[in-house]
Chain A
């Protein structure tokens, strides 16, 4: 099957569902006469995006920068820590249960602490995006490395391959499908982490990213601006997810079912 056809076949079903949902939303607002400050129509959200395009696109750019840096950091930290936990069994038993804390502790509760530690602006937002998205990468890497085919691992032992060499030539490629599963989950979480981080630790005014736009619009009852910012944040999440999927397809498409 040709690539344009593959892309078309994977795009049109969700596009149709989105169109149906938007129509239902619009109908509900009109039929029940819901005031705009409670729920704007999809059309007024689009209008707001159009009206405030320069401000919103700049805000999206700032959030995208923090998200990408936070996600990149969590990818590196996640893969390195997952690999270390796999290579050192004692560390796995001692440290891995504690990494669950990254999932358990609510980000909203620790975001103010990040501002204290890293200051206002980009660093605390990056830290928030990283903290909330790193666990799935650690778990994915560790699961992948621990599920390496026993026969292949034995073959490497027979050829007297060292642990690092075995990790590089066998463990890492073998675990890539589950690493990418972790990265796909992390992509969405990184956007959430950045937005929550921005609620607390971002500059406002001309430097405002999407999270700060949302809090400022909420205070002024500009619900359609809130929806416009949320829409752009969701699109950012989709774009990052798509990028991870593309990377996964490029790396795994030739040999692993999960990426075909």
Chain B
């Protein structure tokens, strides 16, 4: 799989009405690695992700993505179409890319097996729990074999246990494929658990306060009990806190 490199240079985003979400941002997403953007709520981290995903256009600066990526998106909410069953929801990106019905069905079933929803293919989203809906959304994000995966606080609305389990599942899926991933989160533990690098952002407008290399290899539940895991969280927390105090 070709690794995608993302380069942001002096990127700014000012919304109509004058709200400055991102200020003079230089950022590189290392190919084949997971980068987490961590910052307080409303700091502009989701805007950054949307700029990279092409949903928003920057007011100034440039965003280079090389080579042209196949983007997989996972949002805060599952965003499933309530009238489609789980299989057809997962297959939607392929269907919109005009893949054949047979390909859509086969690939959707494969991804559903991957996230443990093989038995729920025929269910409507309303029949699923919150965690199962997010699993379906993860399966949809992976269906077109993305080379750039953008995760926008994907499990923020879930209970703690489901969230931890999904973090572990996503970590395994991402590492198996070595794709370039950008994760936006306000959970320090989630960022340290999933990412290879954590970029800490200031309150709005988003500026980089610090960057942390995460030295862990394999990610599993046992990692959360390590001293170094706790120490990293504590260091990142202090940077976040200092950033928030500096602007308040």
Contact = CB atoms under 8 A, between A and B. Distances in A.
Interface stretch (A75-83, A95-103, A154-162, A228-236): A154-162
B96 A159 contact: yes
Interface in A156-176: 156-161, 165, 169-170, 173
Nearest to A173: B83
B55 A160 contact: no
A127 B93 CA distance: 43
A161 B96 contact: yes
Given A254-B124, A255-B126, A155 B53 contact: no
Interface residues of B, number: 18
B6 interface: no
B81 A152 contact: yes
A93 interface: no
Contact of A159 (B75, B81, B82, B93): B93
Contact of A155 (B54, B75, B95, B124): B75
A151 B73 contact: no
Contacts of A160: 96
Interface string A39-78: 0000000000000000000000000000000000000000
A156 B54 CA distance: 13
A170 B88 CA distance: 13
A173 B81 contact: yes
B8 interface: no
Contacts of B75: 151, 155
B81 to A, nearest CB: 7
B173 interface: no
A165 B92 CA distance: 12
A157 B93 contact: no
Contact of A255 (B54, B83, B95): B83
A151 B79 contact: yes
B126 A156 contact: no
B60 interface: no
Contact of B96 (A149, A165, A173, A255): A165
Nearest to B78: A151
Given A165-B96, A255-B124, A157 B55 contact: yes
Interface in A219-260: 254-256
Contacts of A173: 81, 83
A152 B53 CA distance: 15
A151 B71 contact: no
A152 B92 contact: no
B147 to A, nearest CB: 15
B20 interface: no
A248 B65 CA distance: 46
Interface string B61-74: 00000000001010
A161 B94 CA distance: 11
Contacts of A154: 55
Interface in A138-160: 149, 151-152, 154-160
B92 A159 contact: yes
Contacts of B82: 255-256
A259 to B, nearest CB: 11
B55 A156 contact: no
B97 interface: yes
Given A151-B77, A158-B73, A169-B96, 15 more contacts: A152-B79, A155-B73, A155-B79, A158-B54, A158-B71, A159-B96, A165-B96, A169-B81, A169-B92, A173-B83, A255-B82, A255-B83, A255-B124, A256-B82, A256-B83
Interface of B: 53-55, 71, 73, 75, 77, 79, 81-83, 92-93, 95-97, 124, 126
